[in-house]
Amino acid sequence: MKSNRLLFLLPLLTLCAMAVFFGWALLSGRDPASIGSVMVGRPAPKLEGVELGGGKPKLVNFFASWCAPCLAEHPLFTRLKEREGTAIVGIAWKDKPEATRAWLAKLGDPFKQLLFDQEGKTALDWGLSGVPETYLIDGQGIVRLHFRGPITEQDLKERILPLLKSGS
């Protein structure tokens, strides 16, 4: 008879379990739309004419002149270059070179090296889903961070700068 009475508590317990799960899903700050990245922790794919992993960390930024979020994150790269002297490699994705150059001439060019990926073939090797996306490659040439979408002030302070300052 006792076990039967416990059975009546089952719906309540189920409800509690669901509430905990939904609460976690809402509050944990996890983004269900994020597709993640398998690049992090792996050696960075080759880039023609660019040395990755030469002892100093580098940023690789895929962008395009037609991309509005790229415009939004652009000042952060300028600041990184001017204040930290960070080496940033810019890769213009599906953009006409003259449009890219005009865009950079107008806004300032924070890139140490500029590459063009008009067909999106390089992007595929980097597991790119669109622009902008940014990768941090450490001194050993390993991808340490991969941002899908524009980087923010917070990303810069909390994730990029600590890794850049730790050297390697």
> What residue ranges bind another protein (CB under 8 A)?
33, 35-39, 94, 119-121, 123-130
**Shortest Å, Cβ 124 to another protein:** 5
The pair of structure tokens assigned to 13 is 């317990």
Nearer Cβ to another protein (109/116): 116
**Shortest Å, Cβ 142 to another protein:** 16
Does residue 112 contact residue 82 with C-beta atoms inside 8 Å?
Answer: no
**Shortest Å, Cβ 118 to another protein:** 11
Please give the Cα distance from 91 to 97 (Å, whole number): 11
Nearer Cβ to another protein (111/126): 126
**Shortest Å, Cβ 39 to another protein:** 8
**Shortest Å, Cβ 158 to another protein:** 24
HEC per residue, 110-143: CCCEEEEECCCHHHHHCCCCCCCEEEEECCCCEE
Nearest to 131 by CA among 69, 78, 77: 69
Nearer Cβ to another protein (97/120): 120
Nearer Cβ to another protein (8/165): 8
Nearer Cβ to another protein (21/158): 21
User: Please, is 87 exposed, middle or buried when counting C-beta atoms within 10 Å of its C-beta (0-12, 13-18, 19+)?
Assistant: buried
Residue 122: partners with Cβ closer than 8 Å, 6 or more residues away: 45, 47, 91, 115
